[in-house]
Amino acid sequence: MTLSGLPNPSYFPYDTLEASCALPDRFKPTPNKPVDPPTAQLANTTLSDNPKESRVLVPHDSAEPSLLRKIDLTTALQYGTAQGYPPLYGFIRQFSRTNLHPNVPYKAGPDVILTCGSTDGFAKTLELFTNIWDEERDWIREREGVLCEEFAYMNAIQAVKPRGLNIVPVAVDDEGMVAHGNGGLAEVLAGWDKNKGKRPHLMYTVT
């Protein structure tokens, strides 16, 4: 053990890690359309004749002084902060600001939170933005709700149910959640029944 209570990196069971990573042009993309491409297009979505790859070698130790650029096993296999592995966090944060959300009007741009997957991230979001509701303890007017598509990811629904939240389905079509019409978002909110709890303040959608 080190003086700070962290494991001594000399005892880590790996000296180096090496991998072959596919480059972006390895796959032929399918057309980006609102509905699934025809079967013929799917049949043509194959590996290119000349697959390309890049070999990556991660050393045991790196002399890089910046934690945001330091990629080695001494750092990666060590206990870290709740924010996540600094080089990974820094890359995803910068990529999100530059390519995904360049116009978000926050000071210094949007930030990111690393999670262990969509279900873990969704569960943390629920804990942050909702209160647990108990039928035997709380008034119905205090019950919070979540809007979701009528065909939703089951793990997300299973994360909502134990908190006692009202799960409110909204109709969908080929392009996702319907804004207007029978079972659409406008109809659901306009005809809201307060006997089921508060009007939902969260929306879960994957489209």
Q: What percent of the chain has pLDDT over 70?
A: 87
What burial class does residue 157 get, using C-beta atoms within 10 Å of its C-beta: 0-12 exposed, 13-18 middle, 19+ buried?
A: middle
pTM of the predicted model over 0.75: no
Rounded distance between C-alpha atoms, residue 199 and residue 207, angstroms:
22
Work out the average pLDDT over 19-43: 68
Mean pLDDT computed over every residue of the chain: 85
| pLDDT band at residue 37 using 50, 70 and 90 as cut-offs | low
Segments making up each domain of the chain, as ranges:
9-78, 133-204
In this prediction, residue 43 has a pLDDT band, given cuts at 50, 70 and 90, of very low
Q: Which amino acid is at 41?
A: Q
Strands annotated E in 59-124: none
For residue 149, the surrounding DSSP H or E stretch is: strand 145-149
Residue 42, pLDDT score: 46
Q: What is the pLDDT of residue 60?
A: 94
Q: Looking at mean pLDDT, say which of 101-105, 128-132, 171-175 comes out highest.
A: 128-132
Assess whether pLDDT exceeds 50 at residue 17: yes
